[in-house]
Amino acid sequence: MSPRLSINPSSVVLVSGGARGITAQCVIRLAARSRCKFILLGRSGYDENEPDWARDVSGEAELKRRIMVDLQARGEKPSPSKVQKIFKSIQSGREIAETLRSVREAGGQAKYLSVDITDRAALQEKLTEAVNHMGPVTGIIHGAGNLADKLIEKKSEKDYDTVYSPKVDGLENMLVCIPARQLDFLVLFSSIVGFYGNVGQADYAIANETLNKSAYLIKHQNPACHVVSINWGPWDAGMVTPELKKVFSERNVEVIPVDVGANILVDELMYGDRDTVQVIIGNAPAYLTANGLDSGLQSYQIKRKLSLDENPFLFDHMIGDHPVLPATCAATWIASSCEQLYPGYQFFSLEHFRVLKGIVFDDSLADEYVLDLKEISKTPSGEVEFDALIWSKNKQGKVLYHYSLGVKLVRDVPTPIENRVPSLIPGPEDQAIPGDALYKNGTLFHGPSFQGVEKVLHVSPGKLIMRCFLPKMDESHQGQFPVQTGNPFIYDAIVQCMLIWAQYIYESPCLPSRMEKLEQYKAIPFEKPCLVSMEVTSQSETSVVVDITVRDEQGKTYVNITGLEGTISKQLKRLFSNPR
């Protein structure tokens, strides 16, 4: 069968997102078929000359060690975030170099341009130089794209722009620089999400469906150009982990092998029907029915790796010499995982939370951590309850249990009964204890990410009242524990009331160990003050149990916490002795 579209060594193909990932594999396959020329666009910087100290080093640990040595030699502090940034830059540079090499070996030519396609002026400038060198562009493959998966009520404008702009604005900018009338073909990498929709990807669906409709319009205006928008299903690469494959399998979504997908792209481009504008590669996912929950009780196992480099906030939660995962991060990790299984539901309560063995970021850090979730009940009114356990294996293969709790999801959060009001009206402001003093004098060990105690308004043997306020934290700083329905950073600041109380009453540090129940009526946002009222229900020199209510400025309840227990010990002083 002879090709319907001629792509030959004189053809010049402009490819967005084409130097890395699945688009790069498609470029390499097209180069092998046509021996054409490519102008590859990407946001990553690229330097052909890798530092001498990085050459011939492939292992992540050794490469990061050399990065740290180089930074120290240049008089710079090798912070985890800086090391990770350089590491990723070297990684992406190597991927780009490998793509350029593979294109040459396949018989084609390729030039890489580091440019943001949403910046029209910069794109125009870079393309003018490249076209003068390679020749006029005869085809475009638009493969650039980003994800920011969240339920729609949790998405920000920044999330939307991050996903929408590269696909839609990027296409517009490329066609301003290279008019469609001069093209032999235009291929758009869209997604089945644009056609079928998908939970947590409203912005991604909008962006891809906009590409689909743009393809029809461009074809109508330029009938001689072969325009096709390919609605891809998930590829077997990149973010599609084995766990995610299992989810796709359960929802009857087929995963596309990379070599198969690359061949489909080339065949569709060279042999596809020129009158067919939209092609769907994949099948419709199965969803929960609108009539209610499946009555069957399921069990799930979710595995993840934890990294100090990916969680910069951990350096603000060091007990002794090592960063320790806040218990609030473990609790919200579990609650958020449950929510992802039931889109449209949110966690309302956590029960019987136990810290069995905290996760310390030292030599004992496990290769992976396992979250076991077991559904224990579902009700017709729309409630789902889970038992949850986080565990790992140490270097000797012994199982270690870290956290356990129960989670209740609901469709509609109930209205709180507003009968728990502080029995004490806070005294004069000049008698308040400033929060910053508590972080400086060693009462609290927390760094800036968790310094949410603004002032303590009252402390006595039976109660404590304080005001909390936590500035907004950049999403990149939140690492693997992004704020969703629950905010682990603010929760940690709230629980600090117990640590303050123990220090003032018993002159001893205190660490939370268990909690009987937490009910969240509405999320506590960053940059909003809240009043924390703590009532002591039992106490001794070695332990304390408290109830906590958190309210907004209007007195409406955010959260009720019942039976929060802490261990009091003077032995902890040596771990709290270095205030940050």
> What is the tens place of the pLDDT at every residue in 515-564?
999 999 999 999 999 999 999 999 999 999 999 999 998 899 999 999 99
Apex 235 CA angle, 300 and 90, nearest 5:
100
Q: Check: CB of residue 539 under 8 Å from CB of residue 565.
A: no
Are the folds of 12-46+108-281 and 299-574 the same?
A: no
Tokens of 423: 């029995």
pLDDT band at 290 (very low <50, low <70, confident <90, very high): very low
Question: DSSP string covering 506-518, please?
Answer: HSS-EEEEEEEEE
* Residues forming a β-bridge with 515: 353, 564
Report how far residue 337's alpha carbon sits from residue 413's, in angstroms, rounded to the nearest whole number.
18
Q: How do residues 146-183 score in pLDDT, each as one tens digit?
A: 888 887 777 888 888 999 999 999 999 999 999 999 99
CA pair distance 80, 89, nearest whole angstrom = 14
Residue 6's pLDDT band (cuts 50, 70, 90): confident
Q: What is the pLDDT of residues 499-509, one digit of tens each?
A: 999 999 999 99
Sheet holding 185-191, edge to edge: 109-114, 37-42, 12-16, 139-142, 185-191, 226-232, 278-281
- CATH of the domain spanning 12-46+108-281, picked from 3.90.1150.10, 3.40.50.300, 3.20.20.150, 3.40.50.720: 3.40.50.720
Q: So what's the pLDDT on residue 251?
A: 64
Residue type, 560: N
Tell me what pLDDT residue 425 has.
47
| pLDDT tens-digit map of 433-467 | 999 999 998 899 999 999 999 999 999 999 999 99
Q: Would you give the DSSP letter of residue 117?
A: T
pLDDT for 579 equals 44
377, 384 contact by CB (below 8 A): yes
| Percent of the chain topping pLDDT 70 | 92
The pLDDT of residue 244: 58
Taking each helix axis from N to C terminus, what angle separates 60-73 and 80-105, rounded to the nearest 10 degrees?
120
Q: How far is CA 482 from CA 149, 219, 277, 379, 487, in A?
A: 12, 41, 39, 29, 8
Q: Choose among 282, 168, 283: nearest CA to 232.
A: 282
Q: How far is residue 487's CA from residue 524's CA, in Å, rounded to a whole number?
A: 7
Range in 102-116, 227-241, 495-509 the model is least confident about: 227-241
Q: 183-203 burial string, b = 16+ CB within 10 Å, else e? A: bbbbbbbbbbbbbbbbbbbbb
Domain ranges within the chain, ordered by starting residue: 12-46+108-281, 299-574
Residue 406: what pLDDT? 96
Report residue 239's pLDDT band, with 50, 70 and 90 as the boundaries: low
**pLDDT score, position 240:** 59
Q: Which pTM was predicted?
A: 0.56
| The CATH number of domain 299-574 is 3.10.129.110 | yes
Express each pLDDT in 255-284 by its tens digit.
888 999 999 999 999 888 888 999 999 776
Q: What are phi and psi of 228, to 5 degrees?
A: -145, 135
Place of tokens 């099948």: 283
Q: What is the dihedral of CA 387, 388, 393, 397, to 10 degrees?
A: 10
> How high is the mean pLDDT of the chain?
89
More confident residue, 119 or 420: 119
Quote the pLDDT of residue 113: 95
Reported confidence tier of residue 428, pLDDT bands at 50, 70, 90: low
CB atoms within 10 A of CB 246: 13
pLDDT value at 287 more than 60: no
Q: Burial, 227: exposed, middle or buried (Cβ in 10 Å; 0-12, 13-18, 19+)?
A: buried
How confident is the model at residue 150, as a pLDDT?
81
Q: Tell me how far the alpha carbon of residue 324 is from its chain's centroid.
A: 20
What's the pLDDT tens digit per position in 332-390?
Answer: 999 999 998 887 789 999 999 999 999 999 999 999 999 999 999 998 778 999 999 99
Quote the pLDDT of residue 55.
84
How many angstroms separate the CA atoms of 116 and 136, rounded? 21
Q: Check whether 198 has a pLDDT greater than 80.
A: no
